[in-house]
Amino acid sequence: MKKFSALLLALSMVLSLAACGGKSTDQPSDDSQSGSEAAASDLHLGYDLNTGENYYGPYYDDWSEKTDDELYEEALTEDTTINVYATSSKMMKVEESFEETYPGLDLVVFDLDNDEVLSKAKIEHDTGNITADVLQTKDVNGNVFHEWYNQDILEPYFPKDICSHIDEENLKYGYPLYASQSMWFYNTAAFPDGQPIHSWWEIIEKKDDGTQKYHLFTKEIGQESAYLSLFASFINNADEMAQSYKDTYGKDLEYTYDASDFNFEVPEKNAGVEYLWRFSQAEMTFIGDGDELVLAVHNSTADEPALCLASAGKIGNRDESGYNIAWCLNLEPYTALLNLESLFIAKGTNSPAGARLFVRYITGGADGQSEGMKPFKKEGNWPVRDDVEDKKNPAKLSELGARANDLSAIYYIYPDVQDMWTYWLSKNPKMK
């Protein structure tokens, strides 16, 4: 197993490279492409042949400049069937409106899970029998970006006019369809004056008698890559976690974790590691179903208060089932990581223009008004365009206190963080 110190060193190198060229970069002209074939094949990963520097997205090429009309005209001259491998069944609701908007094109949507999208795309790439045209994926720990994006299976597409309405931090690792995240929920009847917690440290706070202040309900952190990635981000942002503790309690954090049992080096006095340790030793109830998680909070009382970590979309139970639940917003040092559903073009597609036309359509088109966005406008999903009104959510994306997910930073420490969590959780006497 790689040592933790080596991973942190590699991380610092990645971040320094990103800092060297973390700006939008247009595709080099043919005259400038004198680098090796290997460098050219890695261009979409962030190798700029003009400067020799690495950078992350957005990556702009000739496709990025084309309008809806130009893509439609070209799409009619190629394979007019556009196959979409999607991780959301809501994508199927777009078929009729897309075909009505663009007569002559046939949209076929396959409802798959994230692993199926990637594995099917890889099999098609390896056999040379490319069926997919558009791929929808979610990357929460850097796996897609680092292990799939550079195999010529996925191809980036960043429509320049639309990207001008998206925060560049959200374009770093792909082109986003929408943002989602996990949130802590509290009981509004038990706390009528508003959320009872304002920092992550308060979630695991104890009363004067040493008992836990809140009953905690969550999915098993170590089996949920999105949740574990969030905890990994706390380790990467240890200074912020330490400051948050001091701001909450008015004193410096005391470090209590012992990492001597691991066969890799764990950083000393890291507030994120300390939080991982303390959370792993808390009393928790693991529930695999999100609806049951928020139900547990709804059933809690002021005398026996509970919090749960669940998909933000579970706020829908408030209106549909009358649950007394709400999100905890603006937690320190940050509420959550933005999990972006991203869209890619399948490398080798027979419908390159049609695939890109659909990507534009599903993300609002030139003016943000296309019918393609409608199925994805719901509580717990946030549009990432600044020119699209969000009427569904009780809080706007800018009001959550969430931040962009630095996938490279998480990728390099994720395996060891998972090992730490699993081992420490096994030592929790309250979870026996």
pLDDT at 432: 60
Please return the burial class of 336, using the count of CB atoms within 10 Å of its CB with bins 0-12, 13-18 and 19+.
Answer: buried
**% of the chain with per-residue pLDDT over 70:** 87
Q: What pLDDT digit, counting tens, does each position of 210-257 carry?
A: 999 999 999 999 999 999 999 999 999 999 999 999 999 999 999 999
Check whether 126 has a pLDDT greater than 90: yes
Q: What is the largest CA-CA distance in the chain?
A: 74
State residue 28's pLDDT score: 34
Domain boundaries, the chain: 11-65, 66-179+340-392, 182-335+413-431
pLDDT of residue 148: 83
**DSSP bridge partners of 361:** none
DSSP 383-411: --BTTS---S-SS-GGGS--EE--HHHHH
| pLDDT over 60 at 294, yes or no | yes
Phi/psi at 56 (5° precision): -105, 180
What sign for the dihedral angle of Cα 66, 70, 72, 75?
negative
Residues 109/158, Cβ–Cβ less than 8 Å: no
Mean pLDDT, range 116-138, rounded to an integer? 95
- Report how far residue 207's alpha carbon sits from residue 213's, in angstroms, rounded to the nearest whole number: 6
- Using one digit for the tens of pLDDT, what is the confidence trace for 68-111? 999 999 999 999 999 999 998 999 999 999 999 999 999 999 99
pLDDT digits (tens, 9 = 90+) for 322-362: 999 999 999 999 999 999 999 999 999 999 999 999 999 99
Sign of CA dihedral 191, 336, 135, 66: positive
Burial (0-12, 13-18, 19+ Cβ within 10 Å), 426: exposed
Q: Which CATH code, of 3.30.70.1400, 3.90.1150.10, 3.40.190.10, 3.20.20.60, is assigned to 182-335+413-431?
A: 3.40.190.10
381 or 147: which leads in pLDDT = 381
> Alpha-carbon distance 131 to 120, whole Å?
9
Query: What pLDDT score does 165 carry?
Result: 97
For helices 414-426 and 225-236, angle between their N-to-C axes, nearest 10 degrees: 100
d(CA 311, CA 299): 18
Q: Do domains 66-179+340-392 and 182-335+413-431 have the same CATH topology?
A: yes
Rounded distance, CA 36 to CA 34, Å?
Answer: 7
Q: pLDDT tens-digit profile of 249-278?
A: 999 999 999 999 899 989 999 999 999 999
94-122: string of b/e by CB count within 10 Å (b at 16+)? beebbeebbeebebebbebebeebbebbe
Average pLDDT over residues 163-168: 95
Contact residues for 22 (Cβ-Cβ < 8 A; gap 6+): 55, 56
> What is the average per-residue pLDDT within 116-120?
94
Lowest mean pLDDT among 113-122, 143-152, 162-171, 295-304: 143-152
Q: What is the pLDDT of residue 272?
A: 98
d(CA 55, CA 38): 16
Provide the percentage of residues in the chain whose pLDDT is more than 90. Answer: 76
The per-residue pLDDT for range 415-427, each reduced to its tens digit, is 999 999 999 999 9
| Mean pLDDT score, 103-120 | 96
Residue 430: per-residue pLDDT: 85
Which pTM does this prediction carry? Answer: 0.86
Residues whose CB falls within 8 Å of the CB of residue 208, separated by 6 or more in sequence, listed in order: none
- Please calculate the CA angle 351-356-362 and round it to the nearest 5 degrees: 125
- Per-residue pLDDT reduced to its tens digit, 36-57: 233 223 334 444 444 444 457 7
Q: What is the pLDDT of residue 59?
A: 87
Is the distance from CB of 409 to CB of 56 less than 8 angstroms?
no
Q: What is the CATH number of domain 66-179+340-392?
A: 3.40.190.10
H or E element, residue 116: helix 114-127
Average pLDDT of every residue of the chain: 87
Structure tokens at 19: 């800092």
**21 alpha-carbon distance from chain centroid:** 22
What's the pLDDT at 149? 76
